[in-house]
Chains A and B, each alone.
Chain A
Amino acid sequence: MDPEGVRGSLGMATVALIGNPNTGKSSLFNALCGGQARVGNYPGVTVEHKTGRMRLGSTLHKSIELVDLPGTYSLSARSADEAVSVEVLSGEMPGLARPDAVIVILDATNLERNLYLLSQVLELGLPTLVALNMWDRLESEGIAIDPKSLSHSLGVPVVCTSASKRMGVADLQAALGELLESAESSQSAREQHQPVGLASTSFPEPFRRCVEELALWFDSQGCRLPRFQIERLLIDDSQAHSYRVIPEVLTSEVTERISQARAQLASEGVAIPLFETRARYAWIKQRVAGVIERKPRERRASLSDQIDRWLTHRWFGLLFFVVLMFLIFQSITWFASWPMDGIEFATQWIGQRIESMMAPGPLRSLLVDGIIAGVGSVLVFLPQIAILFFFIAILEDSGYMSRAAFMMDKSMSVLGMSGKSFLPLMSSFACAIPGIMATRTIENRRDRMVTILIAPLMSCSARWPVYVLMVSAFVPNRSVMGGWIGVQGAVLFAMMALGALVSIPVAWLLQRFVFPGEPSTFIMELSSYKWPSLRVVMMRVWERVLAFLARAGSLILVTSVLIWAAAYFPGDHGPLDIATAKLEAEQASPDADPENMQVLETQINQLKSEMISQSYLGTAGDWIEPIVRPLGWDGKIGVAVLASFPAREVIVATLGTIYSLGADQDENSQGLAAQLRSATWPDGRPVYTLATACSIMVFFALCAQCVSTLVTIRRETNSWRWPIFSFVYMTALAYAGAWIVYNLMSFW
């Protein structure tokens, strides 16, 4: 589909939304699009691409595609997020038409700094609309802004909004409609659109001359580069970045010309890059003069400041942080148990319905033992994942997450990293993939690489199924300290913490030997505390739940079927099917003979374990057993671990499939945990002891069994080297960790 072709008269327009972080941009996006967003990646880079559809009632443009650009403080080209924003706004992003208009969202309580980004956006020459957000908070901050004079002073329409309360959204839509209409009515509006007094007109004369010369040179090379991008090339000291619009053959010459121009400017006394910020803030000062009024602040700390004094307090702050994390992980086990029982019950019910409707055979086995047992055993963890994301979203939206980074920065800096790595690492506790993607906001390449490589060590939600299964089956359900601390919850907490602890020496080693380089910085906004918006929180939970379901429906479904096939074939299931049919007929008949049923059941179990040891999976198990024996595992566990290479949670599905095929199906109402407890070695000793369970958990805490993570690392680092590196080092770590734990616990 050609985006150029379907818009215009047919009523399609592209509008970009841009703003500083913490300005309520996601609230505004949700308010405008009703929460229907498509999330993906920009081609070739790993910056998140989020678009939504918006309908404008009474105007020419019936349907608008809204592109949500990454939250950024400036349009310089220092980070990937910023470079992408420039490319989208200049219409150079492949597959995306140049926006017809841009909405810049400004935090009204922090106007001057927010205007910095606007001053850069205006220079791109797009029809621009300002959403002056957080309008409802101005009064309590003691600030008065006259939106009319601001609009006049900036030369663009200004609409006051409070996106979290959905105030002013209709006005914004109306203003956008007007803007698009007027832009369309004057043919060359986009080129002509010139707000009053751009900041760049006050750039020093030598600089403007250099830009002029470079522009001429680019033209002569047949590469038309917008003025704004030439300025960026000259100002931003970033070799990592090069606009894709510049042909590769030119890059070395471009680099040379730029360094020449910089040297010349330096000799003429132009301080790159400082002159730009000076010019822009001078412009901002002019624009806001007479528009904004700050009432003389009484020397009273705001509520947010007062909360902050406590939450970042030397002792209380740290204590609060630890207790909060502990409570979050405990409450996940509390709240999730009821919906989990429901899902487990539903899975079994569906399986039984199918069994009652079909005769025993390969197809019934595929459906019940393969698909339903496999996918169902993973689906059971959906409630926990939803609750975890619920808490993470609340921490982010309330502003506490940035305080956590603030408090953690010192300890992270001991490791040579910054508190900024804390946020991606914290999200990696939910899933390493969004965590690794969140490292884009780290400007320092070394910090970013180390964060990417240790992020998969954080205990992601895919490990939950493994931990919960092992803990519920093998850790006593007792409480200590007067019932305040559940032993099971404490073990879960320890498992969650393990990866994070191990990541400390790993990070140190990586920085020492793999990425020697300059230290990191920590320049970060601490946004005011606010009540998290339920809509934003639920939205984020919903996105994660959908992503998890999509994974359960694809990757895990396929793996379940493959594992089922490996456990089912080869082998003649005829006798087993006949025996099963006999047993089911016996059970259905009103005068069932208990003795006969007992005989049949014993026969079926025998046949089943014969089938599984003859199967491909059984053969693989024999082969792998010597390797995993030192960890206290049997061949079945070894196979399950092998089969969980695509995703960690698959081990639960695999164990579910193996034990569902190998155990008595009519008595399995106690679930997989009970089946694991009853599994034995050939000599009758139980396979699973507490030591084995811990060895499995430690292995999964440290291994890199997740194809999606490895693929994400490949995408983020643009090389296969790093995913391979991650896989090798983490697997070695996991094996060693599991071995140590198993041996310590068995000799203890």
Chain B
Amino acid sequence: MDNTTLNDLLEGQAGTIIDIQGNDSLSARLMEMGLIPGERVEMVGQAPMGDPVEYSVVGYRLSLRRVEARRVWIQRV
């Protein structure tokens, strides 16, 4: 399995979520916000200082810090 995470996506690149790492409340919040296995996520842009990052997921824009994005394992598409 290739261990790419959301954090590795460049602007305009997309991936399909494989898994969310960890089982704390942060992971639960990520999943509540729609980051669930099988969903397609696209990296839309980043904040002026490179962090956080804007993603497009289940039809809306979500902002995540890079350290949070690192928890979301994806497969590039």
Which of B25-51 touch A at CB < 8 Å? 25-34, 36, 44-51
In the complex, whether B54 has a CB less than 8 A from a CB of chain A is yes
A525 and B48 in contact, given A73-B32, A78-B25, A274-B31 (Cβ under 8 angstroms): no
Contact A305 B49 (CB under 8 A): no
- Chain A contacts of B54 at CB under 8 A? 308, 312, 406, 526
In the complex, whether A277 has a CB less than 8 A from a CB of chain B is yes
A385 to chain B, nearest CB (A): 31
Output the residue of B20, B29, B48 with the most chain A CB within 10 A: B48
Output the residue of A277, A409, A443 with the most chain B CB within 10 A: A277
A76 and B59 in contact, given A274-B23, A409-B47, A522-B65 (Cβ under 8 angstroms): no
B51 to chain A, nearest CB (A): 5
In the complex, whether A191 has a CB less than 8 A from a CB of chain B is no
Q: Mark A230-247, 1 if CB is under 8 A from B, else 0.
A: 000000111000000000
- Chain A contacts of B34 at CB under 8 A? 112-113, 116
Beta-carbon nearest neighbor of B59 in chain A: A110
In the complex, whether A361 has a CB less than 8 A from a CB of chain B is no
Contact A317 B48 (CB under 8 A): yes
- Chain A contacts of B44 at CB under 8 A? 305, 308
Contact B23 A523 (CB under 8 A): no
In the complex, whether B2 has a CB less than 8 A from a CB of chain A is no
Output the residue of B23, B46, B68 with the most chain A CB within 10 A: B23
Contact A526 B31 (CB under 8 A): no
- Chain B contacts of A315 at CB under 8 A? 48
A302 to B68, CA, bound (A): 26
In the complex, whether B10 has a CB less than 8 A from a CB of chain A is no
Q: How large is the interface on A (under 10, 10 to 19, 20 to 34, 35 or more residues)?
A: 35 or more
Tell me the dominant secondary structure on chain B's binding face: mixed
Contact A274 B20 (CB under 8 A): yes
Q: Mark B46-70, 1 if CB is under 8 A from A, else 0.
A: 1111111010001111111100100
A224 to chain B, nearest CB (A): 27
- Chain B contacts of A111 at CB under 8 A? 59
Beta-carbon nearest neighbor of B28 in chain A: A273
- Chain A contacts of B68 at CB under 8 A? 521-523
Contact B48 A113 (CB under 8 A): no
- Chain A contacts of B59 at CB under 8 A? 109-113, 141, 143, 294
- Chain A contacts of B24 at CB under 8 A? 237
- Chain B contacts of A112 at CB under 8 A? 34, 58-59
A276 to B32, CA, bound (A): 9
Contact B60 A110 (CB under 8 A): yes
Which of A244-278 touch B at CB < 8 Å? 271-274, 276-278
Contact A237 B25 (CB under 8 A): yes
In the complex, whether A152 has a CB less than 8 A from a CB of chain B is no
Contact B28 A277 (CB under 8 A): yes
B37 to chain A, nearest CB (A): 8
Contact B51 A410 (CB under 8 A): yes
- Chain A contacts of B51 at CB under 8 A? 409-410, 413
B28 to chain A, nearest CB (A): 4
A526 and B48 in contact, given A274-B27, A521-B26 (Cβ under 8 angstroms): no
A308 to B30, CA, bound (A): 23
Which of A96-118 touch B at CB < 8 Å? 107, 109-113, 116
Contact A410 B63 (CB under 8 A): no
In the complex, whether A528 has a CB less than 8 A from a CB of chain B is yes
In the complex, whether A675 has a CB less than 8 A from a CB of chain B is no
A308 to B62, CA, bound (A): 13
In the complex, whether A74 has a CB less than 8 A from a CB of chain B is yes
A86 to chain B, nearest CB (A): 15
A276 to B50, CA, bound (A): 33
In the complex, whether A524 has a CB less than 8 A from a CB of chain B is yes
Contact A524 B49 (CB under 8 A): no
Output the residue of A294, A317, A526 with the most chain B CB within 10 A: A526
Contact B62 A409 (CB under 8 A): no
Contact A522 B58 (CB under 8 A): no
Output the residue of A109, A281, A314, A523 with the most chain B CB within 10 A: A523
- Chain B contacts of A525 at CB under 8 A? 33, 60-63
A323 to chain B, nearest CB (A): 14
B14 to chain A, nearest CB (A): 11
Contact B62 A526 (CB under 8 A): yes
- Chain A contacts of B28 at CB under 8 A? 76, 273-274, 276-277
- Chain A contacts of B58 at CB under 8 A? 110, 112-113
- Chain B contacts of A524 at CB under 8 A? 62-63
A406 to B63, CA, bound (A): 7
A277 and B52 in contact, given A305-B44, A526-B62 (Cβ under 8 angstroms): no
Shortest 8 CB-CB contacts between residues of A and residues of B: A277-B31, A410-B49, A526-B61, A273-B28, A113-B34, A110-B60, A281-B36, A314-B48
A–B complex contacts, Cβ < 8 Å, 17 sampled: A73-B32, A78-B25, A277-B36, A308-B45, A309-B45, A312-B46, A312-B47, A315-B48, A318-B48, A402-B63, A413-B65, A521-B29, A522-B65, A522-B68, A524-B63, A525-B60, A526-B54
List 9 other contacts, CB 8 Å, given A313-B48, A410-B47. A110-B60, A271-B23, A277-B31, A278-B36, A281-B31, A409-B51, A522-B65, A524-B62, A525-B33
